[in-house]
Structure 1
Amino acid sequence: MEKIALLFPGQGSQYPGMTQWFYDQFPMARRTMEEASDVLGLDLARICQHGSPEELSKPETLQPAVLTASVVAFRVFQQEIGVLPEFCAGHSLGEYAALTCSGAISFADALRIVQRRGRLAAEVVEQGGTTMSILKKVSIPQVEAECRRLTQAGRMVGVSCYNADSQVAVSGQEAAVRELERWVESNGGSVVRLPDSPPYHSPLMQEAADRLREELSAHTYYPLRWPVISNVTGAPYPGAESIVDLLTAQIAKPVQWQKTMHYLHRQGITKAIEIGPKNVLTTLVSRNVEDMQAYCFDQRTDRQKLVEFFTGRIEQQHVPHFLGRCLTIAVSTPNLNPDARDYERCVIAPYRRIEAIQHTIEQSDQPATLDQMKEALQLLQTIFTYKQTPLQEQKEWLHLLREETGTYYEFPELG
């Protein structure tokens, strides 16, 4: 049996035309793009599909665009292939998509957070004097030593992303980064500059991190449906309660992508699937581990391979039926009401009514109608009320119900 990890890309994966194929083929993709546009007051479809490279390179535009493109791809992936991951991981900005697709952050809240993150990054860019570059064909210990030498001399620069054995990103003061680039090139390495990029994942972003914490603290977080690997630690999030601290730290600390890939390898992951624009992370898989197959869902040939491979296999998880999940949640919720007088009327009868609706649907061999799903939801809420289920627990159950069944737009209020 295959063990799957989903990987979500970050800055540098954007390109004009991203999401176009999904948008043209799948109503879910169009509705996801429309939701993002409504939340942010931006035309995300135009930006993703027709925006210029210059527009897409601005942090305040890039971040919500890449997040949206990744969520679109994930929802289409679940609809078309339906394989649930053992783990998710995202590189830098991609960590927000990984958390969103795990159900830990609502899509609307994630959009607001990354828009704020992008604006804070744009302010750092406007101040000038800092930058970020990718260094290839380098010795990481030697780069780290050269960074220490420059920083001790008053020219701040440091490794900001540990991507692979011979590839890192560095962030710092522009003069220090340029001096480091010359040193790399003189020692046989190569440099890819990231124009208009702030010094992500470095101490120079600490003020932005402190301000980002305020935004992060304003939102609600939910239990993760599957483990998500933190960029800061290279290990899974301990739980939803750690999201604010780890995402705050992430923007000012190095991305531990090598540790992430090695962790997934130790856990027996056999296939890594990149969910989002381009194939940057797909390429990095083979540079970190040898016996893990990598695919990019954004590429047509890889999509076809995945469909052909998983069709009919045990790993395919059909989307749970809404009424079936309502029944499961009703049973799973403990009864906190000591008064048993109305138990038959307020728990047993609603449960049997949901069963009856489900039986009718099964007999007709048709999907549930929206009215049938709405009735089941009302009956489930009746059971919650009698059982005195705490409001926060109700909210978490209903959020999970929407995420698991993909009813994002039938029941937007549950998000």
Structure 2
Amino acid sequence: MNREKTVFLFPGAGVPPAGKELNLFLRHKEHFTSYFEKISSLTGINCAACLIEDRLQELGDLGNQFFTYAFSCALADLCKNRMIKPLWCCGYSMGIYTAYYVSGLYEYKCGISLIENAYKACIKSSSGKKGGLAAVVGLNYEHLKKIITKENFQSIYPALLLNNECFVFSGLQNELAAFMTLCSENGAYKVSLLPADLPYHHPVFLKDASERIREYLLTMDLKTPCLPVLSNISCRFIQSVEQAADDISSHLSNCIDWIKITGFLQKQKITCAIECGPGISITQNSRFIDLSTRYINIKNIKNRLTI
């Protein structure tokens, strides 16, 4: 594939499976198993068993992050082994951890420890608050902001801007429940709570988490990225250890504007974006914005890339 026109995109944790994850795992069982075994040995969480036995829903918040990281890293390395070389890569939400592994910033096992420490930092920072994430489909952003302002929802902030009619908000569970009800009453096509225990990307509740994980990153053995990473916050390329540490730590408490990322793909005239990971969430969200880029994901990767 043309390296100048191909990029890797990595999904966040908790995305709905596309029904092809087990098939891909079984086609390359030895390859994928090595990644899952490392997760199991370091954390005690058997992601492979949950995949094989159709029990992914039992993994929980942190377990889902480990599963997505392992699966995405394995698939990205499989693509690279087939001589598919991306121009750059980008992670959607928690997909940032895979992006920086693929960039060469740290070794695979270091990413596992980083995810675990970031999760613990988020728990400590949120101070026991019952938070979460709510997705709203079918209302525009200005309409949603008016609902938040009118009802004076103090805890609700935008977390993920996916496309022009799909947004994710972070906040306390009680306010999110009321917000979702109002969105439905105002004509939203779909509202749902995402499988997350914490108010990810919250600028207030997780501000301390960003500071804590920045300190942890200073203790890691980080190397200059050999592959540029497009920041999911600033939409700028990260090419140094210092920039990467700032980007990883700040993404915990900042809104991710995926609309801007998708627009950047168009501006760069990227012809092929490979969604390396479970599910097809990136492909689904991007198709409402980007009609020029060809998306390859777990559902069509066998036919298009013979993987």
Would you call these one fold, judging by a TM-score over 0.5? Answer: yes
CA distance in 1, matches of 2:196, 2:251: 20
Structure 1 gap ranges (5+): 309-415
Q: Distance in 2 between matches of 1:209 and 1:227?
A: 22
Question: Matched residue of 2:207: which SS?
Answer: helix
Shift of 1:222: 1.7
* Contact 2:125–2:208 (CA under 8 A) maintained in structure 1: no
Aligned pair partner of 2:31 in 28, 32, 51: 28
CA deviations 1:106-137 (Å, max 9, x no partner) are 11111101122233445678924322100101
Report the Cα offset of residue 302 of structure 1.
3.1
Q: How does 1:93-132 map to 2 (within 5 A)?
A: 93-121=94-122, 127-132=128-133
**Residues 1:250 and 2:251 aligned together:** yes
Alignment of 1:48-67 (within 5 A): 48-50=51-53, 52-56=55-59, 58-67=60-69
Partner of 1:187: 186
Q: Which amino acid aligns with 1:34?
A: E
Q: Which secondary structure does the structure 2 equivalent of 1:11 belong to? A: coil
Residue in 1 aligned with 2:5? 3
User: 1 CA distance for matches of 2:66 and 2:303?
Assistant: 28
C-alpha spacing 1:90/1:259, structure 2 compared with 1 (3 Å): same
Deviation for aligned residue 1:53: 4.0
Distance 1:52 1:264 in 2: 35
Q: Matched residues in 2 for 1:63 and 1:263: separation?
A: 26
Q: Aligned equivalents of 1:28 and 1:194: distance in 2?
A: 30
Q: 1:283 to 1:196 in 2, by over 3 A?
A: closer
The structural deviation recorded for 1:252 is 0.7
* Matched letter for residue 237 of structure 1: I
TM-score norm. by structure 2 comes to 0.88
1:236–1:188 Cα change, 3 Å:
same
Q: Determine helix, strand or coil for the equivalent of 1:77.
A: helix
Alignment partner, residue 230 of structure 2: 229
Kept in 2, the 8 Å contact 1:148–1:158? The answer is: no
Report whether the alignment pairs 1:291 with 2:292: yes
* Map of 2:274 onto structure 1: 273
Per-residue CA distance 1:254-299 (angstroms, 9 max, x = gap): 0111111111211110111100001111112211212111110x22
- Amino acid corresponding to residue 45 of structure 1 in structure 2: A
Deviates more, 1:34-43 or 1:203-212: 34-43
- Is the CA contact 2:18–2:279 (under 8 Å) kept in the aligned structure 1? no
Tell me: CA distance 1:181–1:149, structure 2 relative to 1, closer, same or farther (3 Å).
Answer: same
1:136 aligned partner: 137
Contact 1:273 1:282 in 2 (8 A): no
After TM superposition, give the deviation of residue 196 of structure 1 in Å. 4.4
| Contact 2:224–2:239 (Cα < 8 Å) also in 1 | no
Q: 1:70 to 1:235 in 2, by over 3 A?
A: same
Judge conservation of contact 2:35–2:71 (CA < 8 Å) in 1.
Answer: no
Distance 1:279 1:195 in 2: 16
Residues 377-392 of structure 1 aligned to structure 2 (within 5 Å): none
Q: Is the 8 A contact 1:155 1:173 kept in 2?
A: no
CA distance, structure 1, for counterparts of residue 85 and residue 208 of structure 2: 37
Distance change (3 Å), C-alpha of 1:186 and 1:68: same
Q: Which amino acid aligns with 2:62?
A: E
The question of whether the paired residues in 2 share the 8 Å contact of 1:18 and 1:49 is answered with no
Mind listing any 5+ residue stretches in structure 2 that lack a counterpart?
Answer: none
The amino acid that maps onto 1:30 is T
Sort the Cα spacing of 1:289 and 1:19 in 2 relative to 1 into closer, same or farther, 3 A: closer
Q: Which residue of 2 aligns with 1:343?
A: none
Using CA pairs under 8 Å that are at least 6 residues apart, name the structure with larger relative contact order, 1 or 2.
2
Aligned residues: 302
Paired with 2:267 and 2:283, the residues of 1 have a C-alpha distance of: 18
For 2:213 and 2:24, the matched residues in 1 are separated by 31
- 1:23–1:198: structure 2 CA closer, same or farther, 3 Å change rule? same
Q: Shift in Å at residue 85 of structure 1?
A: 0.8
Amino acid at match of 1:184: C
Identify the structure with the greater strand proportion: 2
| Bigger helix share | 1
Deviation string for 1:150-202 (max 9, x for gaps)? 4xx46221111011011110011223222322222122112121244311111
User: Is the alpha carbon distance of 1:12 and 1:33 closer, same or farther for their aligned partners in structure 2, counting shifts above 3 Å?
Assistant: closer
Once the two structures are TM-superposed, the CA of residue 11 in structure 1 deviates from its matched residue by: 2.0
Q: Distance in 1 between matches of 2:21 and 2:276?
A: 11
- How big is each residue's C-alpha offset from its partner over 1:33-64, in whole Å with a ceiling of 9 and x where there is no partner? 233333334434224433634422x2221211
- Structure 1 residue 221: deviation in Å? 1.8
Q: Who is 2:148 aligned against?
A: 147
1:19 deviation in Å? 5.3
Deviations 1:340-373 (A, max 9, x none): xxxxxxxxxxxxxxxxxxxxxxxxxxxxxxxxxx
Scaled by the length of structure 1, what TM-score is found? 0.67
Distance 1:156 1:34, change over 3 A: closer
> What do you get for the CA RMSD once the two structures are aligned?
2.5
Name the counterpart of 1:365: none
* Partner Cα separation in structure 1 for residue 175 and residue 214 of structure 2: 28
Between the aligned partners of 2:21 and 2:38, the Cα distance in structure 1 is 14
Aligned to 2:175: 176
Q: Which residue of 1 aligns with 2:41?
A: 38
For the residues of structure 2 that align with 1:196 and 1:227, how far apart are their CA atoms? 29
Percent pairwise identity: 20
- Matched-pair contact (CA < 8 Å) for 2:61–2:195: no
Q: Distance in 2 between matches of 1:142 and 1:23?
A: 42
